[in-house]
Amino acid sequence: MKPKVVITHWVHPEVIEFLSQHCEVVPNLTHETLPRGEIIRRSEEAQAIMVFMPDSIDRDFLEACQDLKIVAAALKGYDNFDVDACTRYGVWLTIVPDLLTVPTAELTIGLLIGLSRNMLQGDRYVRSGKFKGWRPEFYGTGLTGSILGIIGMGAVGQEIARMLLGFEMNVLYNDTVVLTEEENEELGVTYASFEYLLQNSDFVVPMVPLTSATKHMINKKTIAQMKPGSFLINTGRGSVVDEQAVANALASGHLGGYGADVFQMEDWARIDRPLGVPRELLENVEKTFFTPHLGSAVDSVRREIAMEAARSILQALDNEMPNGAVNQP
């Protein structure tokens, strides 16, 4: 009998076809997230499962699905998945670390420009019928000559800096690992302390994984250290930012704007995660720019991410060490 593979969310037909040559595939042909109970039911006799951002794998899930050999995550940040539990149950956990870097950096820059240049407000104004030609309105903040502070200089942080070279911005960064002088020069960046970065940046971009140490790294206290009128952009992990503190800072005028592609409500591993985006943020249409987790939403990229996860599944089912493994069961 062919091994059984469950795919929790929609993927391109090519991915299903690729896996079907070797496995019995149970796909989700809708664009909706299935209830957890239904995913468990489908996975009880499965040897592999391909999971996505809305999923969460923990001890209870693995206890109910004891035939699993691999959890292949079609994503980069895996804080919603219990690595230790996977290891104890003898299950590989794999990720796709590289393919999301460029699309996420692109979207970050899109939010930077869209928010600081009042592009959403301008769009609404044209559609309202009030636009009669140029007027001295909607003046924003340009990127050129501004200071950008990146917190976390990993792959995405470095790609953001690389893409911004043509904008002639002054880019500061803070990280536990300091780049070499050659890397700093190549990317056009300067290392700064966390406090200096907050105090001097016109734009702050946290680009760190979600851990107990980074949860609410951007909070009431750290926002108060930021330059008045500065902008905050979050395309990393929702819970790195205290959204209520951001809402309050926008209302007071201390923050000039907030752009986000990720939200606290998405961080399923948090028992205390909020169930929605704060109403104050949603209603502040003048100072916010939100996208529904589009960081990797490039069609060709999403297809290749799922295909890479599929390759990892076949490797594990062939008793090989799968690509992208983050544990050693």
Please identify every residue annotated as catalytic. Answer: 237, 266, 293
E-assigned strands of the chain? 4-7, 24-26, 48-51, 70-73, 92-94, 147-151, 170-174, 189-191, 203-206, 230-234, 255-260, 288-290
Using N-to-C axis directions, what is the helix angle for 101-116 and 155-163, rounded to 10°?
A: 50
Closest by CA position to 258, among listed 227, 295, 233, 292: 233
Q: To 10 degrees, the CA torsion angle through 202, 204, 205, 207?
A: 140
In sequence order, which residues have a C-beta less than 8 Å from that of residue 128 and are 6 or more positions away? none
Q: Which amino acid is at 182?
A: E
Q: Are 205 and 158 in contact (CB under 8 A)?
A: no
Rounded (5°) CA angle 42-45-49: 60
**Residue 7's beta-bridge partner residues?**
50
**Residue 175's beta-bridge partner residues?**
none
Half-sphere exposure of 82 (CA within 13 A, CB side): 16
Residue given tokens 């919603």 in the structure block: 80
Please tell me the distance from the alpha carbon of residue 158 to that of residue 184, in angstroms, as a whole number: 10
Closest by CA position to 68, among listed 6, 20, 9, 127: 6
Tell me 213's DSSP state. T
Q: In what order do the strands lie in the sheet with 70-73?
A: 24-26, 4-7, 48-51, 70-73, 92-94
CA distances from 315 to 21, 310, 324 (A): 14, 9, 11
